Amino acid sequence: MEAPAGEALDALLRTFLSEDVGRRDVTTELTVPAGTRARGVLTAKSSCVVSGLPVARRVFELLDPALAWEREAAAGSAVDPGATLAALAGRARAILTAERVALNLLQRMCGIATATRRFVDAVAGTPCRILDTRKTVPGLRPFDRQAVRDGGGVNHRYDLSAMVLVKDNHRRLSGGIARAVAAARAGAPDLAVEVEVESETDLAEAIAAGADQILIDNQTPETAARWCAIARTAARPPFVEASGNMTLETVRAYALAGVDAISVGALTHSVRGADVSLELEPA
């Protein structure tokens, strides 16, 4: 699913603005004369991968539809400290009131894109892809997923309806892997079925049941390599994903183990926002 657009995007951003503004922006209203115009530059103060500028722009436009916006840096581009991300001009009060929400989203999205790019670079030269997870802040998932794409990563399932993922609790409560996969096939024949495995017995059962994808969670690279080799001997080899506390120091070992993808929850659950500033002056 792509980031929301049109009315759906505007509704989300208006909710964010309402949360931040409250009854009114008292500082701006009391100190900045009505009619004042301003111009400014969004600047990267840390090295980062660009993501979220269209979202930030829309936040400002909701309060000043006539906002001028130019020199936008390309999504997915890597920039150094001091780089201009965009220039803007418009009604000073509107820009000041929208600033925090716009910067919060922009900093988060650039931070996610930057972290994603580091993981993508760490597995460069292998066919392995870097995936995100559903470990996102409620309400921010569309923005987080766009940032992952801008960083060169690939999105996993958007929500619980997108595919069947049989994890350990499902397996125990359904009566085992074979029963869980059979029930999933019967109830949702058009959806892909992924099964989390914790042993070679689980792996064999998942392959025998016809799982489309295998999730190897919290195993060593050596174990992942051995299980990948087993999976590749199946008549219909499943897609193999690895996950579990992946770091920049360890992720390449898993890629070299032969997995097709590695999911990294830290991309979105432990975001370190990029440092971005907006400096304004009278126009």
Chain centroid offset of residue 276 CA: 19
Q: Over the stretch 206-254, which tens digit does the pLDDT of each residue have?
A: 999 999 999 999 999 999 999 999 999 999 999 999 999 899 999 999 9
Q: Over the stretch 21-62, which tens digit does the pLDDT of each residue have?
A: 999 999 999 999 999 999 999 999 999 999 999 999 999 999
- The count of other CB atoms within 10 Å of the CB of residue 34 is 8
Percent of the chain with pLDDT over 70: 99
Percent of the chain with pLDDT over 90: 97
The structural domains of the chain, with segments of one domain joined by +, span 6-115+271-282, 121-269
Q: Over the stretch 166-218, which tens digit does the pLDDT of each residue have?
A: 999 999 999 999 999 999 999 999 999 999 999 999 999 999 999 999 999 99
H or E element: which one contains 203? helix 200-209
CA 138, 1, 271, 219 torsion-angle sign: positive
* Rounded Cα gap, residues 206 and 204, in angstroms: 6
Q: What is the mean pLDDT of the chain?
A: 96
Q: What is the average pLDDT across 155-163? A: 95
Query: What amino acid positions are annotated as catalytic residues?
Result: 100, 135, 167, 196, 217
Q: How much of the chain is in helix, strand and coil states, percent to nearest 5?
A: 45, 20, 35
CA 260, 156, 235, 208 torsion-angle sign: positive
| Position 1 pLDDT exceeds 60 | no
* Rounded Cα gap, residues 180 and 173, in angstroms: 9
Taking Cα atoms as reference points, which of 62, 66, 55, 61 lies closest to residue 14?
A: 62
| Position 153 pLDDT exceeds 80 | yes
Q: Do domains 6-115+271-282 and 121-269 have the same CATH topology?
A: no
| Position 278 pLDDT exceeds 80 | yes
Residue 175 is given by DSSP the state T
pLDDT for the residue numbered 63:
98
Q: Regarding the domain with residue range 121-269, which homologous superfamily does it belong to in the CATH classification?
A: Aldolase class I (3.20.20.70)
Which CATH number is correct for 6-115+271-282, 3.40.50.12160, 3.90.226.10, 1.10.3720.10, 3.90.1170.20? 3.90.1170.20
H or E element: which one contains 97? helix 92-122
pLDDT-derived band at 2, boundaries 50, 70, 90: low
